[in-house]
Amino acid sequence: MKFRKAKQDDKEEILALYQSLIGTPYCAWGNGYPGEQEFDYDMKRNALFCMENEDGEIIGTITVDEDPQVEALTCWSETLQPSAELSRLGVRTDMQNQGIARQLLQHGMEELKKQGKRSVHFLVCKTNKKALRSYEKLHFDVVGESDLFDEDWWCYEKEL
């Protein structure tokens, strides 16, 4: 498997992946999120990454996000700045439960280190049991909770 920056040519495949995950168990996505607007925003910032299999098919995505509402939460450690949020992690349904989400997180964290970040943080839907297991195995700390975007979230943070 290969981790790489997404390309504009990946748009249809990535949007199809996002759509395929909406409504699946534990997924908090819906109402067209994530969609074309998020794809374009992420591409403009060079912040969208994907993992592809041996056949060159995209099997997962992750984004270095910039969301002022998330950044404004007071739970993030002041001593671990600069920091960045990883978001929109998704794995194709037929490839789930194979450790790909953890690989995407690890690659995402490596990317943040290259960018000079001292920590990573993100929101995890409190009902997303799969995600909670992945973050636990990678020793993230729960540093708070939030109800942004009409959902209940745990706020996770980890020093890089």
pLDDT in tens, 61-108: 999 998 899 999 999 999 999 999 999 999 999 999 898 988 999 999
Strand ranges (E), the chain: 2-5, 48-52, 58-65, 83-91, 119-125, 141-146, 153-159
Q: What pLDDT, in 10s, does the model give residues 13-63?
A: 999 999 999 988 878 788 889 999 999 999 999 999 999 999 999 999 999
pLDDT at 122 over 80: yes
Structure tokens that stand for 150 in this block: 């009409």
Domains delineated in the chain: 2-159 (3.40.630.30)
Q: Is 24 helix (H, G, I), strand (E, B) or coil?
A: coil
Would you tell me how many other CB atoms lie within 10 Å of the CB of residue 25? 9
**CA–CA–CA angle 156, 109, 126 (5° rounding):** 25
* C-alpha distances in Å from residue 101, one per residue of 92, 115, 144, 148: 10, 21, 22, 23
